């Protein structure tokens, strides 16, 4: 996709999918194969949307009591875990924060769940509502969020060093918090990784399948020519 000044724009979803599997990326974004999600995944997506919406309204100071009453029993547990988390000790900055960042001749776009501060440090928070969250499954999301938000906050003069930024994954189902820290070495590593994926997308002639043990869980499994 091209922006108004003819630079290419890349979303987290596109880069993350290519990093996961080039063939999956091709089927989705080049061949535009449409696959209907099963009912279980649709329900999980609905739960995630409900919790994200209510958390966003709550953080912005809105009365969410009626929304809470309308939640399902499972969603109420997730909401309870959020309300009783470490978040109450942090200073709220923004939620559902959409960003655009230019890196070389490309634009990166995304949206974080929320941004908080504590002292001179800043924390990106991301809520997870599924039953099988693992930091290993969101490695590229970690890369993308920390790199982009560091560049944005540095440009705004909110911080000076990568170590002032962290990313917390709040697993509301397991009622746990996974803290991921940032530093100068990771900044260089993440920037290189993002540009490397963009270059591979632009120069790839063959979008091979990575063929992992997760292939059968991919919604494009039956459409993949490599399986």
Is the residue at 131 inside a domain? yes
**What are 11's two structure tokens?**
């979303």
Domain count of the chain?
Answer: 1
Is the residue at 188 inside a domain? yes
CATH number assigned to the domain comprising residue 122: 3.90.320
Is the residue at 33 inside a domain? yes
End-to-end Cα, the chain, rounded Å: 29
181 bridge partner residues: 166
Cα four-point dihedral sign 139, 140, 144, 150 = positive
Per-residue pLDDT tens over the stretch 59-113: 999 999 999 999 999 999 999 999 999 888 899 999 999 999 999 999 999 999 9
One-character DSSP codes across 37-53 = PPHHHHHHHHHHHHHHH
pTM beyond cutoff 0.85: yes
Is the residue at 1 inside a domain? no
Is the residue at 136 inside a domain? yes
- Domain of residue 91 covers 8-223
pLDDT interval class at 4 (50, 70, 90)? very low
Q: Is the pLDDT of residue 220 over 70?
A: yes
Is the residue at 3 inside a domain? no
């Amino acid at each position: 996709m091209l922006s108004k000044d003819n630079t290419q724009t890349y979303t987290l979803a596109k880069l993350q999918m290519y990093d996961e599997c080039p063939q999956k990326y091709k089927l989705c974004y080049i061949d535009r194969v449409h696959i209907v999600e099963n009912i279980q995944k649709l329900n999980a997506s609905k739960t995630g949307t409900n919790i994200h919406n209510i958390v966003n309204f709550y953080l912005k100071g809105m009365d969410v009591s009626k929304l809470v009453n309308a939640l399902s029993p499972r969603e109420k547990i997730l909401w309870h875990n959020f309300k009783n988390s470490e978040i109450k000790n942090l200073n709220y900055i923004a939620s559902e924060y959409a960003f655009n960042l230019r890196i070389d001749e490309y634009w990166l776009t995304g949206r974080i769940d929320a941004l908080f501060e504590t002292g001179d440090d800043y924390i990106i928070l991301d809520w997870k509502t599924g039953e099988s969250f693992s930091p290993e499954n969101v490695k590229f999301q970690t890369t993308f969020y920390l790199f982009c938000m560091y560049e944005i906050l540095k440009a705004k003069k909110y911080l000076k060093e990568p170590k002032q930024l962290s990313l917390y994954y709040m697993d509301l189902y397991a009622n746990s918090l996974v803290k991921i820290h940032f530093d100068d070495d990771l900044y260089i590593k993440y920037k290189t990784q993002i540009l490397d994926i963009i270059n591979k997308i632009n120069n790839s002639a063959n979008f091979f399948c990575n063929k992992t043990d997760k292939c059968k869980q991919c919604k494009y499994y039956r459409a993949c020519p490599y399986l």
